[in-house]
């Protein structure tokens, strides 16, 4: 899952990114509200963690603009504003959750997992293509009824391909789902993940369109 963290406290950003990456999330970080809106308009992340005290504009206005772009993008507000009024306003504007600073990182991770499960159940609780079934809630993959072990990145790569069945996904678009901005990615990383996935899936399940990308087709 790709998380956009909108926060201007550099020390907090560093600590949060470290914790989130350790959990297997791809984390992109921005410090200003206008940057965040521009980024979201260009490409939707899977989730936004939003601070309200941003240097260029109020975070509640950012929340409102996010909802103008996408009604379904999960947003967790993370802020020093702990008054009931601010919390109600944030939730009324469409935030999925609201966590006041200071907070425990483990609580934040637990809330992210809840939002992730909720988003998965609303979108595609389970994806079934041929003999392959992917369960977004339990994070399990079954081939012909047998559970198959996968790393988090292999799972997210397969999920992206299965959610876009019949559509070609470029190497660049797949990298954006798995890795943070600026994170060093070896040129053949996606190819390596695809190679490992193919060993665990039926022959021909993931097809390569040379020079274009990868596709999963309906049988």
pLDDT of residue 107: 94
Map residue 131 onto helix, strand or coil.
coil
pLDDT of residue 121 exceeding 70, the answer is no
Rounded CA separation 74/154 (Å) = 23
Instruction: List, for residues 136-160, the tens digit of each pLDDT value.
Output: 777 899 999 999 999 888 998 998 8
pLDDT digits (tens, 9 = 90+) for 27-36: 999 999 999 9
Q: Worst-scoring range by mean pLDDT, 25-29, 114-118, 162-166?
A: 114-118
Residue ranges and CATH numbers for the domains of the chain are 2-121 (3.40.50.2300), 125-216 (1.10.10.10)
- pLDDT tens figures, 29-56: 999 999 999 999 998 898 999 999 999 9
pTM of the model: 0.69
pLDDT, tens only, 13-28: 999 999 998 888 889 9
206 CB-contact burial (10 Å; exposed 0-12 / middle 13-18 / buried 19+): buried
Closest by CA to 99, choosing from 86, 116, 82, 113, is 82
User: Does the pLDDT of residue 11 top 60, yes or no?
Assistant: yes
In whole angstroms, what is the distance from residue 8 CA to residue 33 CA? 10
pLDDT of 122 reads 55
Give the length of the chain.
Answer: 219
Question: 3-class SS at 42?
Answer: helix
CB 53 within 8 A of CB 100: no
Question: What is the torsion angle, in degrees rounded to the nearest 10, for the CA atoms of residue 19, residue 25, residue 26 and residue 29?
Answer: -40
User: What is the rounded CA–CA span in Å between residue 65 and residue 4?
Assistant: 15
- pLDDT confidence of residue 54: 94
Work out the mean pLDDT of the chain and round it to a whole number. 89
């Amino acid at each position: 899952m790709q998380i956009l963290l909108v926060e201007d406290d550099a020390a907090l950003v560093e600590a949060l990114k470290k914790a989130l990456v350790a959990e297997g999330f791809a984390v992109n970080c921005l410090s200003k509200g206008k940057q965040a809106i521009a980024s979201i308009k260009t490409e939707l992340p899977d989730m936004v963690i939003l601070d309200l005290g941003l240097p260029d504009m109020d975070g509640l206005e950012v929340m409102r603009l996010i909802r103008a772009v996408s009604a379904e993008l999960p947003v967790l507000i993370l802020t020093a504003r702990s008054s009931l009024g601010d919390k109600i306003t944030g939730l009324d504007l469409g935030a999925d959750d609201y966590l006041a600073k200071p907070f425990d990182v483990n609580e934040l991770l637990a809330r992210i997992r809840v939002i992730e499960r909720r988003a998965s159940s609303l979108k595609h609780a389970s994806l079934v293509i041929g003999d392959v079934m992917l369960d977004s809630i339990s994070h399990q993959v079954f081939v012909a009824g047998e559970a198959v072990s996968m790393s988090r990145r292999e799972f997210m790569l397969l999920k992206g391909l299965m959610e876009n069945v019949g559509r070609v996904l470029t190497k660049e678009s797949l990298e954006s789902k798995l890795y943070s901005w600026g994170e060093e990615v070896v040129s053949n990383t996606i190819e390596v993940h695809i190679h490992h996935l193919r060993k665990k899936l039926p022959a021909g399940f993931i097809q390569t369109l040379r020079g274009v990308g990868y596709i999963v087709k309906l049988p």
